[in-house]
Structure 1
Amino acid sequence: MRGVTHRITATREDGTVFEVSYGYGPGQRRLLGCRHCDWQERITSGGARHKGLDHLAQAHGALGSPRMTADAAARRQVLLIMLACFAAAALILWWAASQG
């Protein structure tokens, strides 16, 4: 799976941490994929966290400390896009103010 945006994790009683990745696959399909087995599921609308945690609980017995965190690369990309938008808005405001 390419384009991972989030990681869903849960811990088994023995302390082993299991992870499901959420992101985009071929054709910009939203997918969940387990790093520990061959499980993959296409997501059509919402519920990624719930489905990921259900898989971790049923297939791996991981119930503790459930978390869903944004991937660092996805956070950086969002931050850069937001900065570019703010810069463009500031430039437009500056230009509009200088015209009058």
Structure 2
Amino acid sequence: MLRGVTHHITATREDGTVFEVSYGYGARQRRLLACLHCDWEEQITYGGTRHKGLDHLAQAHGAVGNPTMTADARARRQVLWTMAICFLISAVILWWATSRT
């Protein structure tokens, strides 16, 4: 079961139906792919995430058109907030260090 989704891999079948595989982290920080339309789930040990997700969508659901992999909006916001906070802390430390001289 996925706990933290970081990316969505989608493809479209000929009739226009869009199928999606989610990529993220499961228990004990294992990287997982999970299909939203069936019970398929696969642990990822090294690269090839996009290809494994698209292969599943093509073989199990016949979805081969419009293949995309996009970042999850929530995960993207978390990264941006973390970067902003780190930048702010760095700016404060730099200001403090220069004001002491």
Question: TM bucket by the smaller chain?
Answer: over 0.9
Structure 1 residue 74 corresponds to structure 2 residue 75: yes
Residue aligned with 1:7, SS: strand
C-alpha separation between the residues in 2 aligned to 1:20 and 1:8? 5
C-alpha separation between the residues in 2 aligned to 1:90 and 1:47? 38
For 1:1-100, what aligned pairs fall within 5 Å after superposition? 1-100=2-101
**What are the Cα deviations for residues 35-83 of structure 1, in whole angstroms up to 9, with x where unaligned?**
0011000001111111000100111110010000111110111011000
Give me the TM-score of the superposition, normalised by structure 2: 0.97
C-alpha separation between the residues in 2 aligned to 1:52 and 1:42? 11
Structure 1 segments, 4+ long, off by >2 Å, are none
Residue aligned with 1:4, SS: strand
**What are the Cα deviations for residues 3-26 of structure 1, in whole angstroms up to 9, with x where unaligned?**
001000000010000000000011
Q: Structure 2 counterpart of 1:19, which letter? A: E
Q: How many aligned residue pairs are there? A: 100
Give me the TM-score of the superposition, normalised by structure 1: 0.98
- Gaps spanning 5+ residues in structure 1: where? none
Root-mean-square deviation (Å) = 0.6
- Gaps spanning 5+ residues in structure 2: where? none
